[in-house]
């Protein structure tokens, strides 16, 4: 069975070398030399371990059919040989976000912030996977682990997308965000 659970373990092993760790908003996290990404649980991932973050892929909450079709038509998978840059961005949203109803969240996410529309314009250069954390336990440090891969020449475009997204009304609900840059050098 394919695991929906992914673990991101900071340490001295793993295919990805950490090039920078920056707390964008809120508390920083521990620095590590390398990142090991495992499609499963790993020892020591029970919170409050600072070294391992974990999340599960899930069904979509916000996309409508026409957006889903555009995503399916444009998106590429992870693991492309040329995509040697990755970014892991763990995010926690505020209690105010979680107090909204589903339709209110969709309104902020897409009608006001155009999250999917912005993201779509950076496909297929950037490949992505979204992991959810909230339902794993009551004390996960983040709500989402977002993972992106792209070729080095697309880093500028990726940074431009980040600036666009961080300026949206959706980001007013982000209370913790860490930007972890990585390069794949085999380890």
Rg of the chain in Å (alpha carbons): 16
Minimum separation from the CB atom of position 12 to ligand HEM (A): 27
The one among 116, 133, 154, 178 contacting ligand HEM by CB under 6 A: 116
Count the alpha carbons within 13 Å of 110 in the hemisphere toward its beta carbon. Answer: 13
Which of 38, 42, 100, 120 binds ligand HEM (CB under 6 A)? It is: 120
Interface with ligand HEM (CB under 6 A), residue from 38, 107, 130, 136: 130
Measured distance CA(39)–CA(59) in Å, rounded: 17
Q: Strand locations in 43-133, DSSP E?
A: 52-56, 85-93, 127-132
Write the binding mask 50 to 69 for ligand HEM: x where contact by CB under 6 A, - elsewhere.
----------xxxx------
The two tokens of residue 31 are 């620095």
Comparing every residue's Cβ against ligand HEM, the nearest one is: 119
**Local structure of 96: helix, strand or coil:** helix
3-state SS class at 28: coil
Residues that bind ligand HEM (CB under 6 A): 60-63, 71, 89, 91, 115-116, 119-120, 122-123, 126, 128, 130, 144, 146, 148, 161-162, 165
């Amino acid at each position: 069975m394919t695991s929906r659970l992914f673990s991101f373990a900071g340490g001295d092993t793993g295919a990805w070398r950490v090039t920078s760790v920056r707390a964008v908003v809120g508390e920083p996290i521990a620095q590590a030399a390398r990142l090991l990404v495992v499609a499963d649980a790993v020892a020591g991932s029970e919170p409050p371990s600072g070294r391992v973050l974990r999340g599960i892929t899930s069904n979509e909450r916000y996309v409508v059919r026409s957006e889903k079709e555009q995503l399916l038509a444009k998106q590429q998978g992870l693991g492309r040989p040329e995509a040697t840059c990755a970014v892991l961005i763990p995010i926690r949203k505020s209690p105010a976000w979680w107090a909204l109803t589903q339709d209110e969240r969709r309104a902020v996410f897409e009608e006001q912030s155009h999250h999917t529309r912005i993201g779509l314009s950076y496909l297929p250069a950037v490949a992505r996977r979204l992991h959810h954390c909230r339902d794993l336990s009551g004390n996960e440090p983040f709500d989402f682990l977002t993972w992106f891969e792209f070729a080095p020449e697309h880093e500028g475009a990726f940074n431009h997308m980040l600036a666009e997204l961080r300026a949206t009304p959706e980001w007013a609900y982000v209370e913790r965000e860490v930007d972890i840059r990585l390069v794949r050098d085999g380890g």
